[in-house]
Structure 1
């Protein structure tokens, strides 16, 4: 026989589920603008039925006992999560390269009235004026001043390139430390999630946010274990980074020696360092060829060349003007001419412009791909106020109906208990 209070139990369970659903909907609405928040939902199912005797002889029927809450879970799509991480890694790599190429364009500063190309033209014009007036002291002084101006521009560019390379090295070291910090925080959250249970939704949101920040720095694969913890490894070679609470930190030496193993911003910084080094070497070659075409000697003196420098072991930072040279005569070029050196510099500028434009386009393309993937993910995991408001009304009606069931059962029990005996 069914318990007299069966209806109360049914209503109570309905009230519990309705209350939990309304509270969860309120949580979603409150966090509609919270970065990294995943929409939550109440998962419920019919509670086990009771066997009762029916008019079918030995056969029994089953009477429902209401509803029960199975779990309150986040709405996530792990495949979209991985796509977002992949796009973030590629975008982080290209952004690092684009930033460096933008800096290089600023350093080269072409086309410009104060750049290296203008300084080359200025010295060329000064030589032409001196050729027209070989005995003019003022024309000789102009040649030397134009040569000094050329050196000042070239050495300033070289110094800026040294600073850029130093900054890139420092950024790489800081990025490694940042990545290790994320790995430690993820391991700590793994520990908390395993301790508190696999339905620790807020902790999981925080962990996923950290994983996405980490994916901008390096390319990672994520595997969720049965106990709710994450195992994180490098996508390139499956090297373990986080296993439960254990962390395998990366080192700056690894990031420098094998940058492509990591991908992301770390690889982009290393590629940027190589790019800066390449352009500095090309600049040094252009300057060496140009000064040799205009006359360079290892020592100063009246009968020596316009520039002082070591042709065999040329260092741009040690290049000087021979102010003692008198009379000045432009030496015949034994290698490349001044025009050849200027042509090489124009090629350098054109190549830099093309690389910078390519990086800009790549950043734009990958940003668009990341945004499109993020939009798809938000359609699954994000909070829609319209949907939550509709759910709120639905759960409110459900709660009211369950409350009405309790009131009706109470009235029935009142009739049985208090009125049947009168």
Structure 2
């Protein structure tokens, strides 16, 4: 009898001991969201030839590798959908803030439309008593309220834009931090998983995969694992990471202080595409906010120019020709927009409000009836051939549609990501019930191998020691 049986039993003991260690590691990480369940893969050892090669005898078992139980296709799918979610979440958040600026909810009494309606009502009231200084004062106050509301809306849009710019700078810094961490993990994994070795740097891989998940939410990156086990991460076909090499993004600011992304190795600007929260923020800052600010500016300027044109055709209570009702930064008011519209300071003298068609008639308010009343129903080419009311309503409608689209996509993406996460968890997540079941199986196998070992040991003792006596 040879000692081969002992070695076979020892291999079984060691394999089951390694499997129990792996189960212990799984259970210890049951609450680690980034951890992927591991499994000890058993494989038979090479056979041994006896009787001149006519018979092969098994030599036991080896632990071939400690394998992570993950589906790389689900990882890829998750990151792709996570990129879409990051982009549309940023759009939805900003559109929600813009909606709050316009404040045109059904229960709101302070939105621009309500303030504008009060302004128009002020003209109607003045027509009834064109020489009343009290009513002129009311109109003047309502005009100031209108301009202050518009100025505040413009300031709020600017504030959102500046806050977005700060967020862009923070997210860009976060991207570079993630790239640096992934590069370091590439180095650790490559050193651990040397060529020809069965050793797997599984915990390092878990860390790296979690960082790639996080990066995919920020940028629409592509990736693959190279032959030396390092991850290559690229954006727009150019490497951000290749093994230990890292090509961080660079931020350059324009004259407004707005940051833009550039390749640090060539200095070229990184072309944006739809995907990722960082590109979403840049699009919201440079396109979405400007879109609604431009619409507001056009709306405001058209109203101001229309009112100014009307009152300049009339005369004030002192018989003088009318002056501009609204001004911007320039004396002629040609630069009026939402940020600078204001009531002409001269009109603090209420006599200066010109609504008479005849310089000799103080109570004549025909400018209001003849021109200003028509403004409310007039269609302007600047407003896409619409009236003031229809144009502004369309702006609010567009804002609602854009916000609803973003909200719907975010909701769909969250549902899809939850489904993918559940599928990943069913494969990669640690189940205490499964681990305990496996633990019992390996424990029994371990005990059985020790018993085989003891039996063979007793037989060898009997043959060698007792039979000799």
TM-score range (shorter-chain normalised) is: over 0.9
User: Aligned partners of 2:224, 2:32: CA distance in 1, in Å?
Assistant: 25
Partner of 1:48: 46
1:362 aligned partner: 409
Aligned residue number for residue 429 of structure 2: 382
What SS does structure 2 have at the residue aligned with 1:287?
Answer: helix
Equivalent residues of 1:38, 1:382 under 8 A apart: yes
1:261 CA displacement: 4.0
Does residue 103 of structure 2 align to residue 109 of structure 1? yes
Q: Cα gap change, 1:219/1:369 in structure 2, threshold over 3 Å: closer, same or farther?
A: same
2-side partners of 1:195 and 1:353: how far apart? Answer: 54
RMSD over aligned Cα atoms: 2.2
2:439 pairs, out of 389, 392, 399, with: 392
Q: Which residue of 1 aligns with 2:341?
A: 319
> Per-residue CA shift, 1:177-218, capped at 9, x if unaligned?
111111111000000111122610000000000000000011
Aligned to 1:89: 83
**TM-score, L = length of structure 1:** 0.92
Task: Tell me whether 1:404 sits opposite 2:429 in the alignment.
Answer: no
* Contact 2:137–2:350, Cα closer than 8 Å, also in 1: no
1:117-143 CA deviation, whole Å, 9 max, x = no partner? Answer: 011011111111111111111000000
Query: Does the C-alpha gap of structure 1 residues 161 and 47 become closer, same or farther in structure 2, counting only changes over 3 Å?
Result: same
Residue 136 of structure 1 corresponds to: 132
Q: Is the 8 A contact 1:93 1:268 kept in 2?
A: yes
The CA deviation string for residues 25-45 of structure 1, in whole angstroms up to 9 with x for no partner, is: 121122122111001011121
Out of 285-294 and 256-265, give the one that drifted further. Answer: 256-265
Structure 1 residue 349 corresponds to structure 2 residue 349: no
SS of the residue corresponding to residue 113 of structure 1 reads coil
Deviations 1:253-309 (A, max 9, x none): 5538655347311221122121111101111111111222333799xx973233223
Match in the other structure for 2:375: 337
Cα contact 2:81–2:417 (8 A) shared by 1: yes
**Cα distance in structure 2, aligned partners of 1:320 and 1:81:** 56
Structure 1 stretches of 5 or more lacking a match?
none
1:277 aligns with 2:290: yes
Partner in structure 2 of residue 255 of structure 1:
261
Counterpart Cα distance in 2 of 1:81 and 1:239:
21
Which runs of 5 or more structure 2 residues have no equivalent in the other structure?
A: 194-198, 253-259, 263-268, 356-366, 378-386
Deviations for 1:223-247, whole angstroms, at most 9, x for unmatched residues? 112221111112xx32111001001
C-alpha change, 1:411 and 1:288, in structure 2 (3 Å) is: same
Contact 1:91 1:367 in 2 (8 A): yes
Match of 2:14 in 1: 16
1:379 Cα shift?
Answer: 1.7
Aligned length: 412
Residues 343-384 of structure 1 show CA distances to partners (whole Å, capped at 9, x for unaligned) of: 211111111011111110010011111111121222221222
* CA shift for structure 1 position 21: 0.7
8 Å CA contact 1:292, 1:333 repeated in 2:
no
- Compare 384-393 and 323-332 and name the one that shifted more: 323-332
1:306–1:325: 8 Å Cα contact kept in structure 2?
Answer: no
TM-score between both structures, scaled by the size of structure 2: 0.83
After superposition, residues 145-294 of structure 1 pair within 5 angstroms as: 145-197=141-193, 199-234=200-235, 237-253=236-252, 255=261, 258-261=270-273, 263-273=275-285, 274-294=287-307
Q: State how far apart, in whole Å, the 2-side matches of 1:208 and 1:308 are.
A: 58
Give the conservation status (yes or no) of the 8 Å contact 2:218–2:278.
Answer: yes
Aligned partner of residue 351 in structure 2, secondary structure: coil
Q: Given the superposition, is the C-alpha separation of residues 291 and 375 from structure 1 closer, same or farther in structure 2, using an over 3 Å criterion?
A: same
Alpha-carbon separation, structure 1, partners of 2:4 and 2:219:
58
